[in-house]
Amino acid sequence: MATILAIETSCDETAAAVVRDRTLLSSVVASQIDIHRPYGGIVPEVASRHHVATLGEGISTALDRAGLGWAGIDGVAATCTPGLVGALLVGLTAGKTLAMVHHKPFLGIHHLEGHIYANYLASPDLEPPYLCLLVSGGHTSLIYVKGCGQYQTLGQTRDDAAGEAFDKVARLLGLGYPGGPILDQLAQTGNPKAFPLPEGNISLPEGGFHPYDSSFSGLKTAVLRLVEKLRQEGVDPLPLADLAASFQATVARSLTRRVVACAQAYGLTTVAVGGGVAANSGLRQHLQQAATDHGLRVLFPSLSLCTDNAAMIGCAAADHLNRGHYSGFDLGAQSRLDLARVMELYAPMAVA
């Protein structure tokens, strides 16, 4: 068993948590959304400065709430990739410093591996192999999870990530930031069949479509053209709920189709979902329906574990530490790193 103090500062949430294997002992998340909202998106320098201001208190609160002193902590973990480098550096430096001062092993964690591990906190009986649909503000990937640190990306977006598409469509509808939760809420009262929209298939040179890769920029443009057309026709106010519901259903249908095709092709019967867009009610409904229709087990973390948090980072770190993996203190922050290369973050623990 490994008890981890974990830190997450890759984007706009300052988060700290204490996790024992697959059990969450405490989790603190301070969102910066209100600070970035006036800019319509995240301002990297502002994010870094805010992490510096709030991380110390988050770490103390997480330790207090877990009821543990340093003697009860086996290792310290921090997200080191992918993300905003300045923001990552704040958590990484804090984590390395605490590990050094308290003589604990340090682990840098890949943020996307963290999103995958949120599922172990939610469903402790989950075991590889399974398919993970990772849908966040920066990523849309279908990942074959073979084991701890062993990932094969089978499909990804060719342009915008799913969360990015939600954010951009919300912005063009004048709905504010971040767009995902706002559109999700609006879609509840709209008709998902009101406006047919393109799913965004990737053509293959040899003909047909890529079965697992997705594209959302064409869908975003289609919504833009539709809004322009409705305005030209004098439609006022815009049918926002119907637009939101139609857009959301198109994203959900497109992702669900790819999940089912991929799971069937690779003989995987369990699908775990992770990332901020896993909180989307339309996606949840479509995937649950697909689970019933195709005999799949579909797992979702709770809403607070879908969006960025440090508990998922701690859960991934505990699994790595239990296997003797730890990082050097010279580990740096990287804006991106292929998930297939995650084991490069670790050295095997020296046997005494």
Binding-site ranges for Zn ion (CB under 5 A): 136, 308
Residue 179 CA neighbour count, 13 Å, CB half: 24
Q: How far is the CB of 110 from Zn ion (least distance, A)?
A: 11
| Closest CB to Zn ion among residues 94, 306 | 306
Q: How far is the CB of 136 from Zn ion (least distance, A)?
A: 4
| Separation CA 148–CA 143 (nearest Å) | 13
| Closest CB to ligand KG4 among residues 116, 321 | 116
Q: Choose from Zn ion, ligand KG4, none: what does 277 bind? Cβ within 5-8 Å by kind.
A: ligand KG4
| Closest CB to ligand KG4 among residues 260, 277 | 277
Q: Residue 215: which of 168, 244, 254, 265 has the closest Cα?
A: 254
| Closest CB to ligand KG4 among residues 117, 166 | 166
| Closest CB to ligand KG4 among residues 151, 166 | 166
List residues binding ligand KG4 (CB under 6 A). Answer: 11, 136-138, 163, 166-167, 178-181, 184, 275-277, 279-280, 307-308
Query: What residue ranges in the chain does DSSP mark as E strands?
Result: 3-8, 13-20, 23-31, 75-81, 106-110, 130-135, 140-147, 150-156, 270-274, 297-299, 325-326, 347-348
Q: Choose from ligand KG4, Zn ion, none: what does 129 bind? Cβ within 5-8 Å by kind.
A: none
| Closest CB to Zn ion among residues 249, 279 | 279
Q: How far is the CB of 260 from ligand KG4 (least distance, A)?
A: 20
| Separation CA 262–CA 155 (nearest Å) | 9
Helices and strands of the chain, counted as H and E runs = 11, 12
| Closest CB to Zn ion among residues 167, 308 | 308
| Closest CB to ligand KG4 among residues 4, 186 | 186
Q: Residue 277: which of 187, 162, 153 has the closest Cα?
A: 162
Q: How far is the CB of 214 from ligand KG4 (least distance, A)?
A: 15
Q: Choose from Zn ion, ligand KG4, none: what does 178 bind? Cβ within 5-8 Å by kind.
A: ligand KG4
Q: How far is the CB of 47 from ligand KG4 (least distance, A)?
A: 12
Q: Choose from Zn ion, ligand KG4, none: what does 180 bind? Cβ within 5-8 Å by kind.
A: ligand KG4
Q: How far is the CB of 242 from ligand KG4 (least distance, A)?
A: 17
Residue 269 CA neighbour count, 13 Å, CB half: 3
Query: What residue ranges in 148-233 does DSSP mark as E strands?
Result: 150-156
Q: How far is the CB of 324 from ligand KG4 (least distance, A)?
A: 28
Q: Choose from Zn ion, ligand KG4, none: what does 314 bind? Cβ within 5-8 Å by kind.
A: none
Chain centre distance of CA 244: 22
Q: Choose from ligand KG4, Zn ion, none: what does 280 bind? Cβ within 5-8 Å by kind.
A: ligand KG4
Q: Choose from ligand KG4, Zn ion, none: what does 192 bind? Cβ within 5-8 Å by kind.
A: none
| Closest CB to ligand KG4 among residues 47, 73 | 47
- DSSP character for 278? G
Q: Choose from Zn ion, ligand KG4, none: what does 309 bind? Cβ within 5-8 Å by kind.
A: none
| Separation CA 311–CA 142 (nearest Å) | 22
| Separation CA 167–CA 3 (nearest Å) | 36
Q: Choose from Zn ion, ligand KG4, none: what does 108 bind? Cβ within 5-8 Å by kind.
A: none
The length of the chain in residues reads 352
Q: How far apart are the first and last CA of the chain?
A: 19
Q: How far is the CB of 140 from ligand KG4 (least distance, A)?
A: 10
The owner of tokens 């999103």 is 115
Cα four-point dihedral sign 153, 157, 165, 45: positive
Amino acid, single-letter form, for residue 51: H
Residues 151/330, Cβ–Cβ less than 8 Å: no
Q: How far is the CB of 240 from Zn ion (least distance, A)?
A: 27
